[in-house]
Amino acid sequence: MVLVGRSWLLAVVAFLYLPIAVMIAMAFNASSLYALPIKPSLQWFVALAGDAPLLTATRNSLAIALFTSIVATLVGTLASIALSRQAFRGRSLLKALLLPPIAIPWLITGTAMLVFFFWTGIGRGLHAMMIGHVALAIPYVVLVVGTGMEAVRVDLEEAAMSLGSTPVHAFVAVTMPLLAPSIVAAGLFAFAVSLDQFVVSYFLSTPGVSTLPVEIYSSIRKGFTPEINAISAIFFGVSTLLVLLFAQLSNLGGNRGRR
């Protein structure tokens, strides 16, 4: 049974990674027709450097992701402090309100933003995507930081206050240092959410102003070039790095027991 189970797991992992491995391999293949065997070449990566729209889109993506990560982390952490440290009426309702942005299909959220932003004159473009991405990232930040807050027991702050700390000092001296890894993890997560976001960006982009995923999508739809392999391979690598960093910080695999 154990052997069957392990083989099944390996098959699943192979299924998950094979297409990605193929894509990465092809990014290094000189043939644009995916001819085997692979003739190693970096030409598609070199070609990327000359692809102005793609570079602009990449810059946009990074700018939006950076903005999202900073703003969503700040705003989400504040909300998380209130939601997990203070008892007030309507708290469970507010917690429930975090779910729609996560649970409603992005198609619906994205088109709703398009309608509202267009109608109210906020319009589309970079600023619209920033507004949208921050909203999508806030619930994740609240959840990640909230989990971190649960690990910091309330009586630690009380102990600090019994020793003469004001509530603000207790938070800064005791809670913040213990919460820092969670906040950094939340920031990374928000960055990844924004960087990978396609659907909402798609509806909020304009022909001149788009993000990397949107640009990749339109290239695929136009009939793609192997350059997309190259940028996708880089993209996959960056996402993976972010996730690994996040996993390390937030103890995703459950390998470090936190007291």
Partner 1 sequence: MATRIAPSLPARLSSRRAWTTAGLLIPAYGWLTLAVFLPLGAMLFFSFLKAAPFGDRPLVFTFDQYLAFFRRPYLFDVAWRSIELGLWTTGLCALIGLPAALALARATRGRARQVLFLLIILPFWTNGLVRIFSWTIVLREGGVLDQALHLVLPSAPGLSLLYSYPAIVIGLVHAYLPYMILTCYLSVAAIEDSVVEAARSLGARTPAIFWKIILPLSLPGLVSGAILIFVPVIGSFMEPRILGGRIGVTMGTVIEDQFTQAFNWPLGAALSFIMLAVVLLIFGLTSRILPGRVASF
Partner 2 sequence: MVGVDVVSIVKDYGPARVLDGVSAAFEPGRFTSLLGPSGSGKTTLLRIIAGFVTPNAGTVSFGGVDVTGEPVWKRNVGMVFQSYALFPHMSVRDNIRFGLDRRGVRGEVANREVNRVLELVHLEGFDQRRPKELSGGQQQRVALARAIVTKPRVLLLDEPLSALDRRLRQGMQVELRRIQRESGLTTIFVTHDQEEALTLSDEVAILDRGRIVQHGSPTDIYERPRTRFAASFLGDANFFTGQVNAGAIEIGPYRLSTQDSLPAQGSAVTFAVRPEKMNFQAPRDGARPMNRFGATLREIIYAGATSTFLLADDSGSELKVFLQNRDMAWPSIGARVELSWSPSDTILVSE
Question: Which residues here bind partner 2, judged by CB under 8 A?
Answer: 153, 155-156, 158-166, 169, 173-174, 177-178, 259
Which DSSP symbol is given to 38?
P
Which residue lies nearer to partner 2 by CB, 30 or 159? 159
List 174's β-bridge partners, or say none. none
With CA atoms as reference, report the closest residue to 102 among 143, 148, 136. 136
Query: With CB cut-offs between 5 and 8 Å by kind, which of partner 2, partner 1, none does residue 42 bind?
Result: none
For 164, phi then psi, to 5°, come to 115, 5
Long-range contacts made by residues 250-254, C-beta under 8 angstroms, separation at least 24?
A: 250/144, 250/147, 250/148, 250/181, 250/182, 250/185, 250/189
Q: Contact 71/134 with Cβ under 8 angstroms?
A: yes
Which residue lies nearer to partner 2 by CB, 123 or 177? 177
Piece of the chain touching partner 1 by CB under 8 A; list 39-47, 51-59, 170-178, 210-218: 210-218
| SS3 of residue 242 by DSSP | helix
Residue 75 CB, shortest distance to partner 1, in Å, is 4
Select from 40, 50, 105, 257 the one that contacts partner 1 (CB under 8 A): 105
**C-alpha–C-alpha distance, residues 259 and 151, integer Å:** 8
Within positions 150 to 189, which residues make up the interface with partner 1, using CB under 8 A? none
Residue 156 CB, shortest distance to partner 2, in Å, is 5
Within positions 215 to 234, which residues make up the interface with partner 1, using CB under 8 A? 216-217, 220-221, 224, 228-229, 232
Is there binding between residue 64 and partner 1 (CB under 8 A)?
Answer: no
Piece of the chain touching partner 1 by CB under 8 A; list 62-70, 152-160, 171-179, 245-253: 245-253
